[in-house]
């Protein structure tokens, strides 16, 4: 049995209210959290959406993302977004396009895509584990109807309403969405332990780390070797006894380590928050995605006077997911729920887009206060 995350009363209410812009979407989610924890010192919507851009001095440049790794490129039937955030993504380009041509820079890649069907490349790229997205000239994505909304899988351990005050939160996530959620729960009184892997350190610790430090301030930090059986058992005990678990891995990653919720014997009522790009249902559970390309899949773009899609914000699906995930956790605890909360980034980005369109507004870049984008 599952029930839609949107059936949580406050969560559903916040997500159904039209919003003038992305700033208002975030402000509504923060307001929903504040209704449960009025004494919490929560950040502003401005900080949520703009902190990293201000820190790094970045902004989207039309069809190039703010962090410069994701590119919207015209193809035969629309635009393909390819996020080249990892070295491995570059090495897969020839296989993606089935060509021996040199594809060592964006210009060569853009030229190679002009006479290819983006819808076909989308499927192939996802099978290869590449973070790709597609939108056609009608401003639609094939993911609009295919990806289900977030839902909770109850486990039968439901209890009376619970508070985040003193709650034990184990955060296995990295980058932005999960850590932002954990940071907001910490501000509401939770005791957060951030767990990282020796094998895969958090990429956000590289370069300018001000946002990383802000999102992890006050947390206990635990670095474990996931290849070590004894340390995996230590982590399993922490996960089984936590009030809230936050993870942002594709399901098979934790399953292979026997650290997924189905493999553990949970000690009591618990919210296990699983943040993924496209949800946990096959085949979408295997699709890779980051904040910018996921936003393209959700249609969270602005369109210029020539009908060209443009990025908005900085990895925009990440901060949106972080605040709404925190609201969903707070609401789930208040309602006494227990189970796995399946939360997709594409679903949250799509809902924010719908909120703005419902208000009769166009999508605009929230970084206008940083600079013109």
Domain count, the chain: 1
- pLDDT of the residue at 369: 47
Sign of CA dihedral 34, 37, 38, 40: negative
- pLDDT of the residue at 371: 46
> Residue 46's domain spans which residues?
3-60+148-283+312-358
Q: φ and ψ at 242, to 5 degrees?
A: -75, 150
- pLDDT of the residue at 4: 53
Between helices 22-36 and 317-334, what is the axis angle to 10°? 20
Mean pLDDT by 10 residues, the chain (373 residues): 53 76 96 96 96 91 94 96 92 94 92 94 96 91 69 84 96 95 98 90 70 94 92 95 95 91 92 95 92 96 93 96 96 94 93 93 80 48
- pLDDT of the residue at 156: 85
Is 97 part of any domain?
A: no
Is 155 part of any domain?
A: yes
Is 288 part of any domain?
A: no
Classify residue 1 as exposed, middle or buried by CB count within 10 Å of its CB (0-12, 13-18, 19+): exposed
Is 137 part of any domain?
A: no
- pLDDT of the residue at 238: 96
State how far the Cα of 352 lies from the Cα of 156, in Å rounded to an integer. 31
Q: φ and ψ at 75, to 5 degrees?
A: -135, -175
- pLDDT of the residue at 10: 64
- pLDDT of the residue at 142: 80
Is 301 part of any domain?
A: no
- pLDDT of the residue at 112: 94
CA 245 to chain centre: 16
Is 67 part of any domain?
A: no
Query: Residue 162 is part of a domain; what is its CATH number?
Result: 3.40.50.10540
DSSP 149: P
Is 136 part of any domain?
A: no
b/e burial code for range 260-283 (CB count within 10 A of at least 16 → b)? bbeebebeebbbbbbbbbbbbeee
Can you read off the two tokens belonging to residue 236? 């399993």
Is 32 part of any domain?
A: yes
Residue 74 bridge partners (DSSP):
79
* Cis amide bond preceding 283, omega within 30: yes
């Amino acid at each position: 049995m599952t029930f839609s995350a949107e059936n949580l009363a406050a969560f559903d209410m916040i997500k159904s209210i039209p919003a003038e812009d992305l700033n208002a979407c975030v402000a509504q989610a923060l307001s929903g959290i504040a209704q449960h924890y009025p004494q919490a010192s929560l950040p502003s919507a401005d900080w949520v959406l703009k902190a990293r851009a201000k820190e790094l001095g970045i902004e989207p440049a039309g069809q190039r993302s703010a962090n410069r790794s994701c590119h919207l490129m015209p193809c035969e039937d629309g635009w393909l977004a390819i996020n080249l955030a990892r070295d491995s993504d570059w090495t897969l380009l020839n296989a993606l396009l089935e060509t021996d041509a040199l594809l060592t820079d964006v210009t060569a890649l853009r030229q190679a895509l002009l006479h290819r069907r983006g819808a076909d490349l989308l499927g192939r790229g996802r099978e290869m584990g590449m973070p790709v997205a597609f939108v056609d000239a009608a401003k639609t994505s094939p993911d609009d109807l295919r990806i289900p909304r977030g839902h909770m899988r109850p486990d039968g351990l439901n209890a009376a309403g619970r508070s985040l005050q003193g709650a034990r939160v184990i955060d296995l996530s990295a980058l932005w969405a999960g850590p932002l959620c954990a940071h907001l729960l910490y501000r509401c009184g939770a005791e957060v332990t951030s767990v990282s892997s020796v094998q895969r350190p958090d990429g956000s610790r590289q370069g300018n780390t001000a946002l990383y430090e802000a999102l992890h301030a006050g947390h206990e930090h635990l670095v474990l070797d996931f290849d070590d059986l004894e340390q995996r058992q230590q982590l399993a005990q922490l996960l089984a006894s936590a009030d809230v678990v936050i993870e942002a891995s594709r399901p098979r990653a934790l399953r292979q380590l026997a650290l997924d919720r189905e493999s553990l014997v949970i000690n009591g009522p618990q919210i296990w928050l699983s943040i993924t790009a496209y949800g946990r249902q096959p085949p979408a559970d295997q699709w890779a995605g980051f904040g910018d390309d996921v936003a393209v899949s959700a249609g969270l773009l602005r369109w210029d006077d020539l009908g060209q899609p443009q990025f908005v914000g900085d990895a925009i699906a990440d901060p949106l997911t972080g605040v709404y995930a925190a609201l969903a956790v707070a609401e789930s605890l208040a309602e006494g729920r227990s189970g796995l909360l399946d939360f997709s980034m594409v679903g949250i980005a799509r809902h924010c887009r719908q909120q703005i369109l419902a208000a009769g507004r166009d999508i605009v870049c929230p970084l206008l206060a940083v600079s013109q984008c």
